[in-house]
Amino acid sequence: MNFKKCSIAMWSACYLLALATLTAAAPFLTSYGPLELDLSAVLEPPSRNHLLGTDELGRDIWSRLLYGGRISLTVGFHAMVISIGIGVSYGALSGFAGGLIDRMLMRIVDTLLSIPTIILIIGLQVFLPRNVLTIILLIGATSWMPVARLIRTEVLSLKGEIFVQASAVLGASPRHLLLRHVLPQTLPTIAVMAISGISHSILAESTLSFLGIGIPPHEASWGNMLSGVQTYILSGGWWVALFPGLGITLTALAVTFLGDHFQNRFALPQLKGGPST
């Protein structure tokens, strides 16, 4: 691998590895709990006692950044797994079945895509408890449609290939054709969609938490850390928003750069119609 050509992807991978390591080791890297209040140190700027300063309740921002990163990465990964699992299964079934079944299934996808994701999440959230598991399920269950459309397109193309037709003539069952010959050919696309799905899920969680409908306020997350801090920024507390904002931005960029690298490496077409909040 040429390091110069892959420098951005390499740095992105190193950043994500370092982030995962830091968040996993959070209890050993800070002497403060993410919910620990210190009313004598409210809105204290970065100092020796508080490396990244404190927020409006005197909570240590470094501690909240680490523990919030845990939640953001957990939501990003698990929501992506749900999204990819549903999208690949649905798209593969639609594309391989073809005909009327394919048209019906795609009309359902088109209908769901016409509804803003945040409206879907708010509507579904009414019936579910508000916690991390609910946010994971909601983001995963509302972001699989673009995956399904892309996989369906690839399956439609692949099932007409000579090697698939030859296997069918030799008596291979539809299930065997799909699982052994067609789906393995889509793995590079699935990998790229999975990487971009992590970025989307992290941004979706941050957006929902910022709006007050995501992770509950009593749990630290990057989105929660940005919620309601506009007043403190204007009064000089720039550190309250800077560090969680950097965490979200750098993580999303790192995942995006990594996804672009794999997309170029596998010579995949530009992915369009990706999930959006």
pLDDT, one tens digit per residue, over 168-187 is 777 777 787 788 888 888 88
Residues 199-205 have a mean pLDDT of 89
Q: Are 255 and 196 in contact (CB under 8 A)?
A: yes
What single-letter DSSP state applies at residue 182? I
For the chain, how big is the Rg over CA atoms in Å? 22
**Residue 72 and residue 116: Cα distance in Å, rounded?**
22
CATH 1.10.3720.10 fits 19-265, yes or no: yes
Tell me the pLDDT tens digit for each residue of 122-145. 888 878 888 889 999 999 999 999
Nearest to 68 by CA among 179, 171, 218: 218
- Which residues 6+ apart lie within 8 Å of 213 measured at CB? 121, 122, 125
**Tokens standing for 268?**
């995949």
State the first-to-last Cα distance of the chain, in angstroms, to the nearest integer: 35
Domain boundaries in the chain?
A: 19-265
Mean pLDDT, the chain, whole residue set: 84
Quick count: other Cβ atoms within 10 Å of Cβ 247?
Answer: 21
Of the listed ranges 21-35, 107-121, 220-234, the one predicted with least confidence: 220-234
Give strand ranges (E) for 136-191.
none
Residues 93-106 have a mean pLDDT of 90
Residues 88-105 have a mean pLDDT of 91
What single-letter DSSP state applies at residue 269? P
pTM of the predicted structure, to 2 decimals: 0.84
